[in-house]
Structure 1
């Protein structure tokens, strides 16, 4: 029985939904290192480990729309899953919080959230500094006797699953482009072919700028296929 070429195996694994995306991204990190493609490695590493802070731009597929909601209570009533406008937040948060949610979690964390969540029940993802925002909103509503308990984004698991699908689709595009650039009979891509294929991943960051993968001049060399702390945004009162 002949041994399956590594690129064939990688393609098969990308198409196999049972193969974890983490496993595929680890291979891409190794491949990016062998092809001298730091941006490719960085993209795969950020997807594996999570996007670590506000200075790291997010791909646009990691920006999702999710309603803001809050839980509250008063002497006579209790409110749960109440949808609010971003304008209902304290003034200090108006330019910093909206229904656009940047999802910085690693792909492993996303998969874990999806696996442990009822698909019919939205996830409650807290805002950075949500405890202080709740305190400020409680103070603003003191005349009504309303206590704001928590503020969060309400996110359906399907929105997180879409992010994982976007990552897998980009890996599939990467493999397809490698196939298109390799000559018949070639079993290993060259550095230049990896460079060209990486462009098709089309990673666009939050300011709509594409990530350019720069390869060195060793285009003819073959590449063996491998078998954000939260910070307060407003001053305390």
Structure 2
């Protein structure tokens, strides 16, 4: 068997090689997404490189367990203590807009995560963007008169970061393996629909999102793909949607059953009609109903005593 070539093969081989950096593999994913026409693949790889922001869907593999903590001091900022925070002590309206207190999700790019992991600190903290709102609420409703909440954060360790980076690499292994499985032999670039669905599977972990299924011909055939219920494809075509059929170049269409009317028309419709007409004329002749020929209209004759038309300029006798 010949060695597989192309970006997909490089990603698949590099994903299981710890010496190949995640940045290198993700940059190749962006390039592969460009070849496949998959915006979904390009966006996923770009966010893994640069970090997630806004309302972007952050994959589950970027989440690790960590309990939200509060730093509490006296009014002078001394005698500080730490205290775990739990959702049930806050009103429902506040709980609805806050994430889980016992899970930390990393939105940073892989380069930043790797740098923090290499620092090998076991006392790193992450303070969420909504921490000031929660600090204000606690100082107004949940602290002693002489105490003040100064900080809200999640603690995490270098070990947690390495675990997140390991899961990102595993996601690359899954992505490249699934794409290779959905790409027909001899084809280096996956189909756009296949790439989009595999990325969604990697993000959510739900295999049911992969509905794409390549169809492969026999020897010397053309690779074809079809997706969607009741879809078929013949020749070098890709079909999506429901109840679609297409035929490509050099395709052989399946035999088609013709109706009796089509067969009769092809075998001599006019011959059949003339045969029927001849039979009708024969029956009319037998019954004596043969129509008589229509007499031709003769020009009017000139009789004696009548005046013949005179040619212009002709002499007349008296």
TM-score over 0.5 (shorter chain): yes
Residue 114 of structure 1 aligns with which residue? Answer: 117
Q: Secondary structure at the match of 2:150?
A: strand
Residue 51 of structure 2 aligns with which residue? Answer: 50
Q: Relative to 1, partners in 2 of residues 1:96 and 1:178: Cα closer, same or farther, differing over 3 Å?
A: closer
How far apart in 2 are the matches of 1:152 and 1:47? 23
Unaligned 5+ segments in structure 2 are: 213-223, 226-235, 238-318
* Deviation at residue 66 of structure 1 after TM alignment: 1.6
Larger displacement relative to structure 2 (173-182 or 149-158): 173-182
Task: Tell me, yes or no, if the aligned pair for 1:57 and 1:205 is still in contact at 8 Å.
Answer: no
Q: Secondary structure at the match of 2:69?
A: strand
Unaligned 5+ segments in structure 1 are: 222-237
Task: Tell me, yes or no, if the aligned pair for 2:6 and 2:188 is still in contact at 8 Å.
Answer: no
Residue 79 of structure 2 aligns with which residue? Answer: 78
Residue 167 of structure 2 aligns with which residue? Answer: 166
Kindly tell me the number of residue pairs found equivalent between the two proteins.
210
Residue 66 of structure 1 aligns with which residue? Answer: 66
Q: Quick check: which has more Rg, 1 or 2? A: 2
How far apart in 2 are the matches of 1:56 and 1:211? 19
* Deviation at residue 69 of structure 1 after TM alignment: 0.6
Larger displacement relative to structure 2 (90-99 or 60-69): 90-99
How far apart in 2 are the matches of 1:22 and 1:122? 26
* Deviation at residue 109 of structure 1 after TM alignment: 1.8
RMSD (Å), alpha carbons:
3.6
Task: Tell me, yes or no, if the aligned pair for 1:141 and 1:147 is still in contact at 8 Å.
Answer: no
Q: Relative to 1, partners in 2 of residues 1:61 and 1:142: Cα closer, same or farther, differing over 3 Å?
A: closer
* Deviation at residue 83 of structure 1 after TM alignment: 1.8
Q: Relative to 1, partners in 2 of residues 1:161 and 1:90: Cα closer, same or farther, differing over 3 Å?
A: farther
TM-score (norm 1): 0.70
How far apart in 2 are the matches of 1:62 and 1:115? 18
TM-score (norm 2): 0.54
* Deviation at residue 198 of structure 1 after TM alignment: 6.1
Residue 95 of structure 2 aligns with which residue? Answer: 94
Task: Tell me, yes or no, if the aligned pair for 1:39 and 1:213 is still in contact at 8 Å.
Answer: no
* Deviation at residue 150 of structure 1 after TM alignment: 0.2
